[in-house]
Amino acid sequence: MKQELQQLSSRIEEIFQYLHTHPEVSWQEYETTDYIFNLLQQEGFHPIRFEHCPGLYVDIGQGEPFVGLRADMDALWQEVNGIWKANHSCGHDGHMTMAIGALLLLKELPAFPGTIRVFFQPAEEKAGGALKVLEEGIIDPLSYLFGVHVRPIQEIDDGHYSPALFHGATCTLEGKVIGEEAHAARPHLGQNAIEIGAAIVQSLSLIHHDPMVPASYKMTKFHAGGEASNVIPGKAEFSIDVRAQENEVMGSILKQLKYQIDRIAEVYNVTILLEETGGIVAANVHPQAQGILAQAIAQAVGPEYLTPAIHTPGGEDFHYYGVKRPRLKTAMLGLGCGVTPGLHHPYMTFNHERLFTGIEILTKALLLALQQAQLEGAEEYVRISSGETVNNRRAI
């Protein structure tokens, strides 16, 4: 595999340079889609565009089982050297390159039983791309799905690799206080939205969660009042950012937070509107998928460069696939490539040589997953044939 990858090196470098210099923001990845579509067609593949959003998928191989690889496509909108523009500061250009590289490498290897589906997803940065791809229905046949993300130097050393990224859950709440304004000399005739905001902040201390699970909840925006200092504001807008390392803890926090805000609205006799405007689920890493990535890392670079799973407070919409499709076994490769100064920094850079290692690891993982899925399928057939229970119902 290393020899075939070496022969593809100049082509892969060319692909990365194009993707790096042609970034597009979320939901606008149409030229990126065209580029990948045309490239894969020229390589003899038969890519298929998504019907309702930018992005595409392509299959290599034939028949069952199906396993998959996902790459995100979008860039961030940032000020770089005094100019606002799309900028690949989260490594998605590298993720696409590794996915394309895996396809090109698989094409050079001997035929394998089963099908590998590689897809290119829009709008990860907006946390909606994965949900849109789920609507396309292309995930449903898969038994395993892998992703990859470049990692900052603060998390993992350059040249080391993790078989699982445990991102946390995030949620943004947007709120409005709707009360009555009053003259500052007659505060009893209104409801002071600033006092209500302070009460909301204080109520956060009444929320409790499992102390063994990292979590945070804090007000991140509060707007009330105008130019006049002798008017008590009756209206305000605010935001609350909630984060938790586990989905169950996130659910508990949100339930308690909404309860506290409802009580504050009752005490102050105002209306408080609250809406969830964004969020991502926490990782639902499957141990078998994690084990396959660990095995692939050990085979590609040696066990000494295999690191434990990474728990990170950031969010990733890749994890919607495993949460929304519980039977799908998912895991995300953490690529130690010296990302500096950090992810989302406008001048982020990383060691591009690690892209080739990433391609090898992902390719090995996909082939190992096919083997594992075949074994699982055979075992399931034996269980059904012998009349064992399946999902608490007797096989018939």
| Inside any domain, residue 391 | no
| 144 and 22, same domain (yes or no) | yes
Same structural domain for residues 21 and 111?
yes
Q: Which amino acid is at 339?
A: V
Residue 298 forms part of a structural domain: yes
Same domain, 163 and 294: yes
Q: Are 328 and 369 in contact (CB under 8 A)?
A: no
CATH for 211? 3.30.70.360
Alpha carbon distance, N-terminus to C-terminus of the chain: 44
Residues 125, 15 within the same domain? yes
Choose the final residue of a domain: 258, 279, 300: 279
Q: What are the contacts of 370-378 at 24+ separation with CB within 8 A?
A: 370/61, 370/65, 370/67, 370/112, 370/113, 370/114, 370/116, 372/144, 372/288, 372/292, 373/65, 373/66, 373/67, 373/114, 373/143, 373/144, 374/65, 374/113, 374/114, 376/143, 377/64, 377/65
Asked whether residue 394 is assigned to any structural domain, the reply reads no
Predicted pLDDT at 143: 98
Give me the sign of the Cα torsion angle 57, 42, 147, 87.
Answer: negative
Instruction: Determine the pLDDT at residue 390.
Output: 47
Structure tokens at 285: 């890493």
Residue where one domain finishes, among candidates 279, 295, 326 = 279
Report the pLDDT value the prediction gives residue 389, as an integer from 0 to 100.
53
Claim to verify: residue 142 and residue 56 sit in the same structural domain: yes
DSSP-assigned beta bridge partners for residue 312: 167
Task: Specify whether 24 is located in the same domain as 106.
Answer: yes
Residue 396 maps to a domain: no
Please tell me the predicted confidence (pLDDT) of residue 393.
39
320-362 pLDDT per residue, tens: 999 999 999 999 999 999 999 999 999 999 999 999 999 999 9
pLDDT at 377: 81
| pLDDT for res 381 | 63
Residues 149 and 297 occupy one common structural domain: yes
Annotate 365-377 with three-state secondary structure.
HHHHHHHHHHHHH
Q: Which of 279, 302, 330 is the last residue of a domain?
A: 279
Which stretches in the chain have pLDDT values below 70? 381, 386-396
The phi and psi torsions of 97 (rounded to 5 degrees) equal: -60, -45
Together in a domain, 57 and 159:
yes
Amino acid 207: pLDDT: 97
Measured between alpha carbons, how far is residue 215 from residues 52, 141, 244, 308 in Å? 35, 35, 4, 21
Which tens digit of pLDDT belongs to each residue from 11-34? 999 999 999 999 999 999 999 999
Taken in order 193, 195, 201, 204, is the CA torsion positive or negative?
negative
Does the predicted TM-score (pTM) go above 0.85?
Answer: yes
Q: Are residues 219 and 338 in the same domain?
A: no
Given the structure tokens 């035929």, which residue do they identify? 111
Domain that holds residue 224: 169-279
In a domain, 395, yes or no: no
**Is 173 in the same domain as 161?**
no
Do both 158 and 31 map to the same domain? yes
What tokens appear for 144 in the block? 């395993």
Q: Quote the number of domains for the chain.
A: 2
Is position 392 within any domain? Answer: no
Q: What is the CATH number of the domain that holds 68?
A: 3.40.630.10
Asked if residue 393 belongs to a domain, the reply is no
Q: Which phi-psi region, left, alpha or beta, contains residue 130 (left: φ > 0; alpha: ψ -120 to 50)?
A: alpha
Q: Where are the alpha helices (DSSP H) in the chain?
A: 2-7, 9-21, 30-42, 92-108, 129-136, 193-203, 247-268, 287-301, 319-324, 354-385
CB 275 within 8 A of CB 173: yes
| Structural domain includes residue 330 | yes
| 303 and 358 housed in the same domain | yes
Encoded amino acid at 384, one letter: I
